[in-house]
């Protein structure tokens, strides 16, 4: 349960610093269902949308000034030590960019 407490500590630090907007772990890809709507017909598939080596295990939404800030916080997420963290800015609606 070391991992869980590591996550709690990292998430708590983000909250304390006021950058944490939202976060959450995801159930494993075996729990995934994929839906496509084609010609108005929903098509369901059992499984994730792509068979990748890496699977998304969770997400964080952080409010940072720039990439360096985001990188600093991302490096504190425990999964960064054995997996990897992809960082992408949210696309802002035109009147907020």
Partner 1 sequence: MSSQVETVFRREWGRAVAVLARLTGDLGLAEDAVADAFAMAVDRWAAGPLPSDPAGWLIAVAKNHAVDQIRHESRRPGKEEAAARLISGRDPPRPSGLIVDERLRLIFACCHPALDPGVRVALTLRTLCGLSTAQIARAFLVGETTMAQRLVRAKRKIRDAAIPFRVPAGHELPGRTGAVLRVVYLVFTEGHRASAGPGVITDELCDEAIRLARLLAGLRPGDPEVLGLLALLLLTDARRPARATADGRLVLLPDQDRGRWDGAKIGEGTQILDRAMSLRRPGPYQLQAAIAACHATATDAGDTDWAQIAALYAALASHEPTPVVHANRAVAVAMAEGPAAGLAILDELCADSRTSGWHLVHACRAGLLRTLGRTAEAGDAYRAALALDPPPAERDFLCSRLSEISQCPRQLERTTMPTAEEGIEAQVRNIEARYGKTMPEWFAVIAASGLSKHTEVVAMLKAEHGLAHGAAHRVSLLSRQAAAPAPVSADAAVDALYTGKKASLRPLHDRLMTVIEAFGPDVTTVPKKGYLSIRRKKQFAMIQPSAAGRVDVGLILRDIPPAGRLEAAGSFNALFTHRVRVASADDIDTALTNWLHTAYVSAG
Report, in Å, the least distance between residue 76 CB and partner 1. 14
- Per rule CB under 8 A, is residue 96 in the interface with partner 1? yes
Query: Which of the ranges 17-25, 43-51, 60-68, 77-85 carries the binding residues for partner 1, by CB under 8 A?
Result: 60-68
3-state secondary structure of 12: helix
Comparison of 33 and 63: residue with beta carbon closer to partner 1 = 63
Out of 40, 65, 82, 86, the residue judged to bind partner 1 by CB under 8 A: 65
Give, as one character, the DSSP assignment of residue 30: G
The single residue listed with the structure tokens 């929903």 is 42
Out of 41, 46, 54, 66, the residue judged to bind partner 1 by CB under 8 A: 66
- Per rule CB under 8 A, is residue 53 in the interface with partner 1? no
CB 64 within 8 A of CB 20: no
CA distance 89 to 85: 13
The single residue listed with the structure tokens 């295990």 is 57
CA distance 45 to 33: 6
> In the complex, which residues of this chain contact partner 1 (CB under 8 A)?
65-68, 70-72, 87-89, 94-97
């Amino acid at each position: 349960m070391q991992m869980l407490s590591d996550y709690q500590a990292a998430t708590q630090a983000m909250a304390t610093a006021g950058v944490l907007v939202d976060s959450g772990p995801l159930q494993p890809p075996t729990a995934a269902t994929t839906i496509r709507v084609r010609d108005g017909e929903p098509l369901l598939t059992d499984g994730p949308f792509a068979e990748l080596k890496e699977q998304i295990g969770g997400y964080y939404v952080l409010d940072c000034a720039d990439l360096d800030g985001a990188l600093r916080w991302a490096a504190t997420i425990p999964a960064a030590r054995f997996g990897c963290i992809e960082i992408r800015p949210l696309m802002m609606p035109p009147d907020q960019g």
